[in-house]
Amino acid sequence: MSMIVSTETTAKVGTQPRGKMIAYWSVTLLLASAITLSGIGQLMLYGGNVELVTNLGYPLYILTILGIWKILGATAVIVPGLPRLKEWTHAGIFFLMTGAALSHVFANDYGDYGFNIILPLSYAALNIASWALRPKSRKL
Q: Assess if residue 5 is contained within a domain.
A: no
**One pLDDT digit (tens) per residue for the chain, 140 residues:** 555 555 555 445 456 688 899 999 999 999 999 999 999 999 999 988 999 999 999 999 999 999 999 999 999 999 988 999 999 999 999 999 999 999 999 999 998 999 999 999 999 999 999 999 998 877 88
Residue 69 inside a domain? The answer is yes
3: in domain: no
Specify the pTM. 0.83
What is the number of domains present in the chain? 1
Does 21 reside within a domain?
yes
- DSSP labels, 23-82: HHHHHHHHHHHHHHHHHHHHHTT-TTHHHHHHHHT--THHHHHHHHHHHHHHHHHHSSS-
